[in-house]
């Protein structure tokens, strides 16, 4: 098995006359926390939809856990977890009912689901709230429940699309503690965020602008190579650079 959980080669997506993702290439190692950054409309969500096997590429390809996104999308989806900024929960269902629903979607049998349910409840800090309607929970608790539902089937790769939007800084930090625990256990994580303090927690970063990958390196290396003191300054500088300018990973 390859050391890379995600392998992307010249991945491109065109909608009509608009190129949303333009020949991007990079890899994500197993157990890595990879930050995928860029302004709204840069192509982040389109890339994630392709990597999750939800839409095919126009050209180029990617392999996720060894499976081709265009030819084996069902196998891709079986091997990943996905969480969006909307949390993907059913607000009118209870905590337990949401877990049961997603467990069924992932094909978990009764005994396996019971074991995973206990794990999710404990991880999310939802003890005593199992029968509470999800819609009345705080944003932070809904966030942790959504993460738990995304990892019910123990996926080896997890895609998190702006999962910390709308929660307070303390809750964001607690959420990142969970992310680091998952990565320490071997889960590969690709995350998008607009919070540059969160980007500092990532092993490496890819910055996409106008559908093109214009930076790929560690947070420290990107700041050094742009001669800036913060990632926010670095990415503002990158976005203003000539489209031919690139920062590439030295590895």
For CATH 3.40.50.300, the residue range(s) in the chain are: 1-79+173-251
Furthest CA-CA distance within the chain:
56
pLDDT of residue 251: 46
The answer to whether the beta carbons of residues 19 and 39 sit under 8 Å apart is: no
pLDDT of residue 1: 60
Within 35-168, residue ranges assigned H as helices are 44-51, 73-78, 95-105, 110-124, 139-150
The model carries a pTM of 0.89
**Residue 228 main-chain phi, psi, to 5 deg:** -125, 165
pLDDT of residue 246: 53
CATH 3.40.1180.10 fits 1-79+173-251, yes or no: no
Q: List for the chain the helix, strand, coil content (%; round to 5).
A: 35, 25, 35
pLDDT of residue 243: 46
| pLDDT (tens place) for every residue of the chain, 251 residues total | 678 999 999 999 999 999 999 999 999 999 999 999 998 889 999 999 999 999 999 999 999 999 999 999 999 999 999 988 776 789 999 999 999 999 988 888 888 898 888 888 998 889 999 999 999 998 889 988 999 999 999 999 999 988 888 778 888 888 899 999 999 999 999 999 888 889 999 999 999 999 999 999 999 999 999 999 999 999 888 877 744 445 555 44
pLDDT of residue 65: 96
The answer to whether the beta carbons of residues 13 and 208 sit under 8 Å apart is: no
pLDDT of residue 115: 87
pLDDT of residue 174: 87
């Amino acid at each position: 098995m390859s050391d890379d959980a995600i392998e992307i080669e010249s991945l491109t997506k065109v909608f009509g006359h608009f190129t949303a993702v333009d020949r991007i290439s990079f890899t994500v190692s197993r157990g890595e926390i990879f930050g995928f950054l860029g302004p709204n409309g840069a192509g982040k969500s389109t890339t994630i939809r392709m990597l999750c096997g939800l839409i095919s590429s126009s050209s180029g390809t990617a392999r996720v856990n060894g499976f081709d996104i265009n030819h084996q999308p069902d196998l891709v989806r079986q091997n990943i977890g996905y969480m969006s900024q909307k949390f993907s929960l059913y607000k009118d269902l209870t905590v337990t009912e949401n877990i049961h629903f997603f467990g069924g979607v992932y094909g978990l049998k009764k005994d396996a689901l019971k074991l995973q349910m206990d794990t999710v409840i404990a991880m999310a800090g939802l003890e005593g709230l199992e029968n509470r309607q999800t819609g009345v929970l705080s944003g932070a608790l809904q966030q942790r429940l959504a993460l738990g539902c995304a990892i019910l089937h123990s996926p080896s790769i997890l895609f998190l699309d702006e999962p910390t939007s709308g929660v307070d800084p303390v809750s964001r930090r607690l959420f990142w503690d969970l992310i680091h625990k998952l990565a320490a256990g071997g889960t590969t994580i690709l995350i998008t965020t607009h919070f540059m303090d969160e980007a500092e927690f990532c092993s490496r970063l890819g910055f996409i602008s106008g559908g093109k990958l214009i930076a790929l390196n560690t947070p420290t290396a990107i700041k050094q190579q742009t001669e800036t003191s913060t990632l926010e300054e670095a990415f503002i500088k990158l976005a203003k650079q000539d489209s031919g300018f690139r920062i590439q990973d030295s590895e």
